[in-house]
Structure 1
């Protein structure tokens, strides 16, 4: 297998940059660290590229060492992906998201379809039957936003180590029941977004939790917050509170009203 090309350099506007074959990465300075933004099919040398050539934010790093480590991780992913021998093709197949416009065959019976607006995996009957029951979806269609992780967990040998790690994170956060069934143990709140949200909901089941908020135009330095008990968005029992702007931080799952510092809005 021919090795991939990895190159580091500086853009025309003085930014750290790299390329991994046809993938381009530029480190955009932040107040603290750098945002990694990517693009693809850029043929010009790195020194002729600029910030405007990239458009997809991928994450953040602290410094040049971290940026180079990120690029090395991407390079390993690309090498592993190339070694898997996936086949790009066109299959005229109707999917839950429209007609397939392009397809990638991961293995016999496991195909990823892309459509005009979405995409996902189709597992044939045998491949779907081979999935762990906790991971299996009836019909064999797995959309690309989150359900793809079920396929990666079911057939890890068809995915790169980076894809496996991303799938594991997705399962922990959004399909904790499936993850626990496969691994035989419970996830803590610190290990799963959903488990953390469930713990938050139990802890604040009787508290007023904000469901929407705006900066007050009538009360300087205050936020007008609409809240329901437990943050139930279907509840008709709502109250409005004034919260000092300096104290209003929405948090991961919502802002809990503190009666000591928040007052009922008129």
Structure 2
């Protein structure tokens, strides 16, 4: 069997599990069904694993078919990594995230750095000029959380299918205009978090949006809320009194949603009484 071929089995406590190289996967039951957990470097046979060996729990539900797709995708990723010409290089340099502690050369002019706290890509000026303007940074550094997708999108031959899928997902969620330009499609509501956020902010620019909430001790069954127009938070320690309001919201109706709770002024009660917020005093 190839080192990248998945090995499936059942753990000592009955979990469906798989191993690809040093990466272990398992399905764990929850109230919503099953979710996926992972571990690294388990040296014992699968039948000797237990739930205590795993970490990195995810909330997304997964069935057996989805579990197998995840495992097979990782196996393909590992195999493709072996075919890419990435190599560790000795580089003593500083980055926006600190001193480089580990550097991997993807191609001439493209180096991935790891520091004590963070990491990302450093591109030479020639490489950086090819990044699309909407994604390009002036200094050629692209942090590892989101900005790195600019490198993957511009130089897809340097990435595995797994990395390209991850990059496309982040591009869609965080940089929707770049995703739309790349794919020639318009993202619809629910397809991009950043675009949905912009729509929420635009639609509620003149409505009171909750920025802080607490269970009311003075009014059981209600949530005491501090709201600001459009949910815009003050840059100071506290916004002026005319820029914020307090409301009492029935706790059965309070649902923060994806971007915040919008006050219904016809239903939610304006409030100026004793507060459950520590240190709150009326201005």
TM-score in terms of structure 1 length: 0.92
8 Å contact 1:33–1:60 — kept in the other structure?
no
Structure 1: runs of 5+ lacking an equivalent = none
User: Aligned residue for 1:37?
Assistant: 37
User: Aligned residue for 2:78?
Assistant: 78
Q: Which of structures 1 and 2 has the bigger CA Rg?
A: 2
8 Å contact 2:180–2:187 — kept in the other structure?
yes
Structure 2: runs of 5+ lacking an equivalent = 274-283
The reply on whether 1:238 has 2:227 as its aligned counterpart is no
8 Å contact 1:90–1:101 — kept in the other structure?
no
User: Aligned residue for 1:61?
Assistant: 61
CA displacement, residues 1-57 of structure 1 (integer Å, 9 cap, x when unaligned): x65131111222222211111001122211112221212112111121222222223
Structure 1 residue ranges, 4+ long, deviating more than 4 angstroms after superposition: 183-186
Deviating more after overlay: 130-139 vs 150-159 = 130-139
Partners in 2 of 1:97 and 1:255 — Cα distance? 35
The reply on whether 1:255 has 2:261 as its aligned counterpart is yes
The reply on whether 1:108 has 2:108 as its aligned counterpart is yes
TM-superposed CA distance for 1:183, in Å, is 4.2
User: Aligned residue for 1:134?
Assistant: 134
- Superposed CA RMSD: 1.9
User: Aligned residue for 1:220?
Assistant: 220
User: Aligned residue for 2:161?
Assistant: 161
Partners in 1 of 2:5 and 2:169 — Cα distance? 29
8 Å contact 2:3–2:20 — kept in the other structure?
no
8 Å contact 2:222–2:251 — kept in the other structure?
yes
TM-superposed CA distance for 1:64, in Å, is 1.9
Partners in 1 of 2:212 and 2:51 — Cα distance? 35
TM-superposed CA distance for 1:191, in Å, is 2.6
The reply on whether 1:124 has 2:116 as its aligned counterpart is no
TM-superposed CA distance for 1:132, in Å, is 2.6
8 Å contact 2:190–2:196 — kept in the other structure?
yes
CA displacement, residues 139-195 of structure 1 (integer Å, 9 cap, x when unaligned): 211110111011111111111122112111212222223334444554333332111
* Cα distance change, pair 56–248 in 1 and its aligned pair in 2 (3 A): same
Partners in 2 of 1:203 and 1:170 — Cα distance? 24
TM-superposed CA distance for 1:62, in Å, is 3.3
Deviating more after overlay: 83-92 vs 138-147 = 83-92
8 Å contact 1:61–1:67 — kept in the other structure?
no
* Cα distance change, pair 3–15 in 1 and its aligned pair in 2 (3 A): closer
How many aligned residue pairs are there? 265
